[in-house]
Amino acid sequence: MATKEKKSRSPFQALVGYDHLERRENGIVIGMMVEEKHFGSRERIHGGAAATLLDAAAGSAFFDVIEDVERTVTVQLSVHYLGRITAGPVVAVSHIDFAGKTIGHASASLYEGSEGGPLMATATGVFRLYRKSDAR
């Protein structure tokens, strides 16, 4: 696996406000400062914002870690909410569980504060992998 340059922020990534913090051997870490714009009701993060972070961490792991993967599309994402997140930092840590030719499976965990902090949500996902070697 070759090292890749840091990806530029997409318009959606800039809108939500998360950043890639670290690339690991089999996944990535992304982080975000939860602000009022991310709240649903009762000054807590909206479930969709939490799901976005988990999806971004899990899906991005494939093209950040596997040289031949140029993009991914989420086929299925299952999220389990475990706690309430208010304002402050969060990190999503992903792990590639399987990478076939066109389908991959990854998991991600969302922590309040930093990795090792309170576990707030988990997700597993199936992703369509688009590989450079398959380009026509």
- Predicted TM-score (pTM) of the model is 0.88
Could you read off the pLDDT tens digit of each residue along the chain, which spans 136 residues? 333 444 556 887 877 888 899 999 999 999 998 887 877 878 788 878 889 999 999 999 998 999 999 999 999 999 999 988 777 899 999 999 999 999 999 999 999 998 999 999 999 999 999 999 876 5
Nearest-angstrom CA–CA distance, 80 and 115: 17
- What are the backbone angles phi and psi of residue 42, rounded to the nearest 5°? 55, 35
Tell me the CATH class for 13-134: alpha beta
Asked if 125 and 55 count as a contact pair (C-beta separation under 8 A), the reply is yes
Helix (H) or strand (E) holding 81: strand 69-81
- What are the backbone angles phi and psi of residue 41, rounded to the nearest 5°? -105, 160
Which single residue is written with the structure tokens 């950040």?
A: 64
- What are the backbone angles phi and psi of residue 54, rounded to the nearest 5°? -65, -45
Q: Is the dihedral of CA 120, 19, 14, 27 positive or negative?
A: negative
Asked if 53 and 77 count as a contact pair (C-beta separation under 8 A), the reply is no
Extents of the domains making up the chain: 13-134
Amino acid at 55: D
Amino acid at 106: A
